[in-house]
Amino acid sequence: MEIAPIVAELQHASTVTPRLEVYRYSGRDVDVLTTGVGMVATATWCSERLCREPYDLALNLGVCGTFVPALALGAAVHVVADTFAELGAEDGGGFLSLEDLGLPGPDEFPFTRGRIVNAAVPQNPALRALPQVTGITVNTVHGDEASIARIVERLHPDVESMEGAAFMYACLAHGVPFAQVRVVSNVVERRNRAAWKLPEAIARLGRTALDIIDAQ
């Protein structure tokens, strides 16, 4: 559903696998990889593809929830730093990071101070026009007031998704230029689908993706 407005504008060339379709657009080859939901599927299928082809640019496209009221629903953003929010250990009511646990250090590749950072944003005018934000990647999206307050206090994220940091990790590991582009579909709060702007967000995502491809 999220990629439907994008592929509607592309010319289908071939089906490589059930997850990978090849398209043409304005003289460019565009591979569309549908990884499935969550960080494990994303890391697995992105790495499987990135080790096979020398891509000029990899884009992670999807919707997200926002913790920041100033980010309007339907706003397109570029997530330049992301964190695996649940990677660590509980200690009573507290949370221990990998650094706290004496596990891989906060600056061990591909981490920068415990985050996955896009330090080399591609020189793409449409991409650089997007607001830059920080994100968290989670297995369980937040929907409880107490847990939302804790994660905001600990990590101060702007947005959350279930895939972003895994995609960024894979791209850094394979040395591929990349960008995580998301459109805000909802506020992170107790689950309230009636307040979401999902169709509008998906439409905006399609327009934004094509603008980036056009500018590449």
Topology of domain 4-215, CATH: Rossmann fold (3.40.50)
Average pLDDT over residues 37-65: 95
Distance from C-alpha of 199 to C-alpha of 203, rounded to nearest angstrom: 6
What average pLDDT is seen over the chain? 93
Indicate the pTM of the whole model. 0.94
pLDDT > 90? residue 121:
yes
Q: Where residue 187 falls among pLDDT bands split at 50, 70, 90?
A: very high
pLDDT > 90: percent of the chain = 80
**Residue 63: predicted pLDDT:** 95
Distance from C-alpha of 2 to C-alpha of 54, rounded to nearest angstrom: 25
**Residue 86: predicted pLDDT:** 93
For residue 99, count other CB atoms closer than 10 A to its CB.
Answer: 16
Contact assessment for residue 167 and residue 180, using Cβ atoms and an 8 Å cutoff: yes
- Secondary structure class of 191 (helix, strand, coil): coil
Burial bucket for residue 169 (CB in 10 Å: 0-12, 13-18, 19+): buried
**Residue 64: predicted pLDDT:** 96
**Residue 1: predicted pLDDT:** 83
What are the b/e assignments for 71-89, b being 16+ CB within 10 Å? bebbbbbbbbbbbbbeebe
- CA atoms 9, 11, 15, 21: torsion sign: negative
Distance of CA 70 to the CA centre of its chain: 20
Contact assessment for residue 78 and residue 164, using Cβ atoms and an 8 Å cutoff: no
**Residue 152: predicted pLDDT:** 95
Tokens, residue 216: 């590449």
pLDDT tens-digit profile of 52-98? 988 999 999 999 999 998 899 999 999 999 999 999 999 988 899 88
Average pLDDT over residues 193-213: 92
Q: Where residue 201 falls among pLDDT bands split at 50, 70, 90?
A: very high
pLDDT > 90? residue 194:
no
pLDDT tens-digit profile of 131-182? 999 999 999 999 889 999 999 999 999 999 999 999 999 999 999 999 999 9
